Structure 1
Amino acid sequence: MTERGFAHPEALIDAAALAAALGAPDLVVIDITKSLPNENRDDRAAWRAAHIPAALFLDIDEVADRTTQLPHMLPSPEDFARMIGAFGIGNDTRVVFYDQKGMSSAARGWWMMRVFGHDRVAVLDGGLPAWRAAGLPLETGEVPPPPPVRFRASFRPELVADLARVRRGLADGDLVLVDARPAARFRAEAPEPRPGIRGGHVPGARSLPHLDLLDDACLFRPAAELRARLAQAGLDGTRPAIAMCGSGVTACAIALAAHLVGLPEVAVYDGSWTEWGGRDDTPVEIG
């Protein structure tokens, strides 16, 4: 990965390197695909139909806070430790996340692990499409769950933003807020995939669709291109930054891109537009 100029190339792994690492006793590979509600797609069934050998499936609606109606919000550190330990992931485990689309939800896994103190985590660059393009083998059916292990979570609050933090940062004028949703949804020219959510964006937010960070093969663009696209959206490292999207998933791709090029950590607004656009006490801008 170093040929693309990344400051933190270890956050990505390519298909060939992952294929060579399969079978290592300290490695867990996870399909973390999460489709939008209006896509009517069974991600778990698609995983059963074709997955990287021995890859487990993680549904972010299950590894989540069950006390809120907001989708896949982070659980408590204690609950996350128990849930992720059930995947055979301990504090010394290497974890690789991928998704079936290329890069839509894999970065959410990378971000969640780092939120709870685990840095031995990477994303498969290009996801399952890159694996297929390399002609690498696939498996079908269920994967037997590994024995559960103990995971000790260490929460990093600086990587997570809530509604209050976003409001405070906007009021102070000391915040770059970047929205990873498609531009048409940002401008309220396309409907939100969840019913009851207003269209538009947070006043003062900048649009940076997460697909703009990727090339046609869903691989992250070289560092120089990423820096330019991030800087165009105001992410140049001079001010604190928060990424958001529809429900805190594709926003993680912005946080990962910033990490790859060596910018200061970008927090993710976990409730994102589902929370902001679903309330009646939050301002909305259209266009």
Structure 2
Amino acid sequence: MPTSDRNGNDEFAAGPRLPGAQRFDIDAVAELRPDVNPLALTHMIPTVGVFQDAVEKFGITPDTHVVVYDTIGVFSSPRGAYTFKTFGHDKVSVLDGGLPRWIAEGGEVEVGDVSKPEVASYPAGEINHDNIRSGENIGRSPETAEIVLDARNIGRFSGEEPEPRPGLESGHIPGSGHLPFASLLTEATPERPYTSFKSPAELREIVVAAVGGEAAWNDVLDGKRAAVFSCGSGLTAGVDWLAAQLVAEADGGKNPKTAIYDESWTGYASRPQSVIEKGEPKK
């Protein structure tokens, strides 16, 4: 996050971490070319070659079941899982509650030197572009075509609170709805020092209401409309995205039509031609 002074690489190297874990740095395994990413936005979906090179160094093959976790509970790990899914790697899970829950429940950890796995062979695949929305195609579809949901808090969405990124105006994409990622998670407490997903029933109630009700949710399940998730930079939109997958799985295992607006609000609000709406979400 832009206001954080934590260093993920240093923290991972020092430990504790899950035994054999490797650090998947979403800001390094990303689109960094200035001609493609002129706004220097963080953790944008990388090229096939960048993704392939990273996972090969981790010893990952197409048959590897990848488990992604973070140090908060549920925060950045869904974005990691989304990245793997976008490159067609379906064997990926998120560790609900992350490292702090693992430790709290007595899971084994390691510290010290990070192990180096044997380099694997990972054939170049293709990016599933249906999973991604860009600045060129967000907010320009008829309202009946896509459901855009914003994962930021209500103050930033309404324009009443400033963005954490200096110089960036707050507000929201016209016509977008509101699905704050924190509403999908349990709060961390001294007894449970991690966030985790709420129950399937609670998730369903929240997600279905956010998309506009049962009929709209069925359209997402049936592929008639897409639910597109946005946030500040495309990170916590992953929490919304994963919640939708969990609800769809509980609703019979359908594959919902979902995507993440990759550059999210930072990219949208950085463009002078973007229309910025203020106020509460429409009911």
Q: Same fold (TM over 0.5)?
A: yes
Report what 1:42 is aligned to.
7
Unaligned runs of 5+ in 1: 1-35
Letter of the 1:248 partner, please give it.
Answer: G
Letter of the 2:126 partner, please give it.
Answer: S
Report what 2:258 is aligned to.
266
Q: How many residues align?
A: 251
Report what 2:222 is aligned to.
none
Q: Which moved more, 1:144-153 or 1:176-185?
A: 144-153
With over 3 angstroms needed to count, the CA separation of the structure-2 counterparts of 1:182 and 1:141, relative to structure 1, is farther
Q: Within 5 Å, which residues of 2 pair with 1:156-167?
A: 156-167=128-139
Report what 1:61 is aligned to.
27
2:197 partner SS: coil
The alignment status of 1:113 with 2:57, answered yes or no, reads: no
The alignment status of 1:203 with 2:180, answered yes or no, reads: no
Letter of the 1:257 partner, please give it.
Answer: A
**1:203–1:285 Cα contact (<8 Å) kept:** yes
Q: Distance in 2 between matches of 1:237 and 1:205?
A: 19
Q: Distance in 2 between matches of 1:179 and 1:115?
A: 20
Task: Say which of 182, 197, 206 aligns to 1:220.
Answer: 197
Q: Distance in 2 between matches of 1:266 and 1:202?
A: 17
Displacement, 1:205? 1.1
**1:82–1:150 Cα contact (<8 Å) kept:** no
Report what 2:231 is aligned to.
245
Q: Using structure 2 for the length normalisation, give the TM-score.
A: 0.84
The alignment status of 1:254 with 2:220, answered yes or no, reads: no
The alignment status of 1:186 with 2:163, answered yes or no, reads: no
Task: Say which of 257, 266, 269 aligns to 1:277.
Answer: 269
Displacement, 1:172? 5.4
Q: Within 5 Å, which residues of 2 pair with 1:19-168?
A: 36-47=1-12, 48-67=14-33, 68=37, 69-152=40-123, 153-168=125-140
Identity %: 38
Q: Distance in 2 between matches of 1:219 and 1:124?
A: 9
Letter of the 1:61 partner, please give it.
Answer: D
Q: Distance in 1 between matches of 2:182 and 2:65?
A: 26
Q: Using structure 1 for the length normalisation, give the TM-score.
A: 0.83
Report what 1:14 is aligned to.
none
Q: Distance in 2 between matches of 1:138 and 1:83?
A: 23
Q: Distance in 2 between matches of 1:275 and 1:145?
A: 36
Superposition RMSD in Å = 1.6
Displacement, 1:242? 0.3
Unaligned runs of 5+ in 2: 188-193, 220-224, 249-253
Report what 1:232 is aligned to.
209
Displacement, 1:167? 3.0
**1:103–1:127 Cα contact (<8 Å) kept:** yes
Displacement, 1:281? 0.6
